[in-house]
């Protein structure tokens, strides 16, 4: 036979026992041609275009899943940042567009649609301000719409006015969805160095340099990497990196296959494979457990940053060779509520926000799905965003904050979001104020790293 029995069994084992799956097929759709001076016309055009282009996304995803026997967990859509699409309406808010996106997502059967977004790293336009003003309501009245805001880049520096504003927006969003533990905040990502072709929610949007329509794929497979690491408890770091590279290569090949098949069946160009290790709350699908398998008693202890650096780099090296087009965020994700090992470590106090922040220096993406006390002041949220954006700006990498000030909850309590969003133990923030710093306003200048020409 063309393949050895061992090779075939290895593939079957990865899928059936180690949770190898394709995390998402995300269709990027340009909505630039939906602009109009009347907001209701924009909303109607947005709805029509999404339904038209994405009508076959879910059936095709299901077909590929069946043909190849690889589970495809999510089918999703990303669109042009709505601040650009709706700007010429002159309206003060774009909730109607968010509602149209939500209806379209429901119509075509995707669980999330990203792109209720604004890019404000150097300043805000009229459209950006209208979008920012609409975020809390839009996330409260819709179910599937995800919002994101880019507040900094290595080239532009950090827009601290926007950072301050987002401290308020995050708190307002939590308050408006207080009956559901502030779930609106789980659909809001604040970025530095956001990427145009990220297939992962909640931060996906269809960047302005992207084509009319494109298919991007996000792979997963923390369980496969974890089992491979566990099998070699005595391997030194060189050997360990090698094992992870080989595993990442195989996982990424599945992403490449699925991306190409989806592109062919949908007659839409293939964009990129995102090499991220994306955990879920399911047993055996945890990034934290990989770090523990490397020899740490609990994720969050000393050595976690080094372990994550090795993991992140080895995943990229293995994956980069497996796909012709690598993009998106491509790195290990360390969301707290979406990773069974992280949840446990947070509950027992093994990991803190400060350690998570340090870990985000060496992986994608940032402080992700972290619940903090409901009475955390907006200036503190803004300062957390500023710290994370500074890490991204200086290191020329993407960083993000997705933080939930859980209404009425305090440290030690737990917030249940359910499904892929998981369970978030409320983590402590520093109690000393950052308000004076955040109130300064203006822009943090671009660092020397941005002057690369």
Partner 1 sequence: MPSGTNRIIVTVIGRDQVGIIAAVSSVLAEAQANIVDISQTTLQEFFAMIMMADLEHASLPFAEIKQRLNDKGEAMGLRIDAQHEAVFNYMHRV
Q: How far is the CB of 317 from partner 1 (least distance, A)?
A: 15
Contact call for residues 181 and 416 (beta carbons, < 8 A): yes
One of 257, 358, 361, 435 touching partner 1 (CB under 8 A):
257
Residue 92 interacting with partner 1 (CB under 8 A): no
Q: Interacting stretch for partner 1, rule CB under 8 A, among 250-258, 275-283, 398-406, 408-416?
A: 250-258
- Nearest-approach distance from CB 66 to partner 1, in angstroms: 6
One of 48, 67, 232, 416 touching partner 1 (CB under 8 A): 67
Minimum distance of partner 1 from residue 133's CB (angstroms): 46
> CB under 8 A: which stretch of 6-14, 274-282, 399-407, 442-450 binds partner 1?
6-14
7, 58 contact by CB (below 8 A): no
> What count of other Cβ atoms lies within 10 Å of the Cβ of residue 434?
19
Q: Under DSSP, is residue 25 helix (H, G, I), strand (E, B) or coil?
A: strand
390: nearest Cα among 407, 372, 366, 369: 366
Q: Does 23 bind partner 1 (CB under 8 A)?
A: no
In the complex, least distance from residue 221 CB atom to partner 1, rounded to whole angstroms: 12
Does residue 18 bind partner 1 (CB under 8 A)? no
- Contact by Cβ (8 Å): 368, 336: yes
Residues 147 and 202: beta-carbon distance below 8 Å:
yes
Q: Which of 279, 161, 146, 285 is nearest to 202 (CA)?
A: 146
Beta strands in 376-436 (DSSP E): 399-406, 414-416, 423-425
Please tell me whether residue 375 binds partner 1 under the rule CB under 8 A.
no
267 binds partner 1 (CB under 8 A): no
- C-alpha 365/C-alpha 121 separation (Å) is 17
Interface with partner 1, residue 8, by CB under 8 A: yes
CA 367/CA 359 separation, integer angstroms: 9
From the list 12, 239, 348, 439, which residue makes contact with partner 1 (rule: CB under 8 A)?
A: 12
- 7 part of the interface to partner 1, by CB under 8 A: yes
Closest CA to 148 of 105, 99, 189, 204: 189
Residue 274 binds partner 1 (CB under 8 A): no
**Helix and strand totals (H; E) in the chain:** 15, 14
Q: What is the CA radius of gyration of the chain?
A: 21
Nearest distance from residue 359's CB to partner 1, in Å?
30
Of the pair 48, 67, the CB lying nearest partner 1 is at: 67
The residue (of 261 and 401) whose beta carbon lies closer to partner 1 is 261
Q: Applying CB under 8 A, which of residues 32, 69, 231, 412 lies at the interface with partner 1?
A: 69
Taking the least distance from each CB to partner 1, the nearer of 155 and 265 is 265
Interface with partner 1 includes 41 (CB under 8 A)?
no
Identity of the residue, 259 or 405, whose beta carbon is nearer to partner 1 in the bound complex: 259
Instruction: Confirm or reject binding of residue 453 to partner 1 (CB under 8 A).
Output: no
254 binds partner 1 (CB under 8 A): yes
Shortest distance in whole angstroms from residue 58 CB to partner 1: 16
CA angle 57/53/111 to nearest 5° reads 45
Supply the minimum distance, in Å, between the C-beta of residue 64 and partner 1. Answer: 9
Strands (E), 289-406: 326-327, 366-373, 399-406
DSSP annotation of 332: B
Does residue 2 touch partner 1 according to CB under 8 A?
Answer: yes
Measured CA to CA, the distance from residue 213 to residue 120 in angstroms comes to 24
**Torsion sign over Cα 426, 427, 433, 437:** negative
Binding site for partner 1 (CB under 8 A): 1-3, 5-9, 11-13, 16, 66-70, 250, 253-254, 256-257, 260-261, 264, 321
């Amino acid at each position: 036979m063309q393949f050895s029995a061992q090779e075939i069994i290895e593939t079957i084992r990865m899928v059936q026992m180690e949770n190898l799956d394709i995390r998402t097929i995300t269709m990027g759709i340009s909505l630039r041609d939906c602009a109009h001076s009347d907001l209701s016309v924009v909303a109607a055009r947005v709805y029509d275009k999404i339904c038209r282009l994405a009508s076959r996304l879910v059936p095709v995803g299901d077909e590929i899943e069946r043909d190849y026997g690889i589970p495809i967990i999510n089918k999703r859509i990303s669109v042009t940042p709505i601040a650009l699409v709706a700007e010429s309406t002159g309206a003060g808010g774009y909730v109607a567009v968010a509602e149209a996106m939500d209806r379209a997502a429901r119509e075509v059967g995707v669980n999330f649609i990203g792109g209720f977004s604004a890019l404000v790293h150097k300043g805000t336009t009229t459209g950006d301000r209208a979008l920012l003003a609409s975020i809390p309501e839009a996330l409260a009245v819709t179910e599937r719409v995800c919002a994101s805001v880019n507040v900094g880049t290595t080239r532009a520096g950090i827009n601290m006015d926007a950072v301050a504003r987002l401290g308020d927006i995050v708190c307002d969003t939590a308050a408006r969805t207080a009956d559901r533990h502030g779930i609106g905040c789980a659909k809001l990502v604040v970025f530095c160095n956001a990427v145009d072709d990220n297939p992962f929610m909640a931060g996906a949007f269809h960047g302005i340099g992207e084509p009319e329509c494109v298919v991007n794929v996000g792979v997963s497979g923390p369980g496969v990497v974890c089992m491979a690491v566990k099998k070699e408890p005595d391997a030194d770091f060189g050997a360990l990196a090698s094992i992870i590279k080989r595993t990442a290569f195989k996982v990424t090949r599945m992403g490449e296959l699925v991306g190409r098949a989806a592109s062919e069946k949908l007659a839409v160009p293939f964009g990129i494979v995102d090499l991220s290790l994306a955990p879920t709350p399911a047993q055996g699908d945890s990034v934290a457990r990989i770090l523990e398998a490397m020899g740490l008693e609990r994720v969050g202890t000393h050595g976690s940053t080094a372990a994550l650096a090795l993991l992140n780099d080895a995943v990229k090296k293995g994956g980069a060779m497996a796909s012709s087009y690598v993009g998106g965020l491509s790195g290990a994700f360390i969301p707290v509520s979406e990773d069974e090992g992280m949840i446990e470590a947070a509950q027992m106090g093994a990991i803190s926000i400060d350690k998570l922040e340090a870990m985000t220096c060496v992986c994608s993406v940032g402080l992700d799905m972290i619940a903090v006390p409901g009475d955390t002041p907006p200036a503190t949220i803004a300062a957390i965003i500023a710290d994370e954006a500074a890490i991204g700006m200086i290191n020329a990498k993407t960083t993000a904050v997705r933080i939930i000030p859980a209404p009425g909850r305090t440290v030690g309590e737990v917030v249940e979001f359910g499904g892929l969003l998981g369970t978030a133990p409320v983590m402590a923030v520093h109690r000393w104020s950052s308000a004076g710093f955040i109130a300064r306003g203006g822009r943090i200048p671009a660092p020397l790293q941005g002057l690369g020409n």
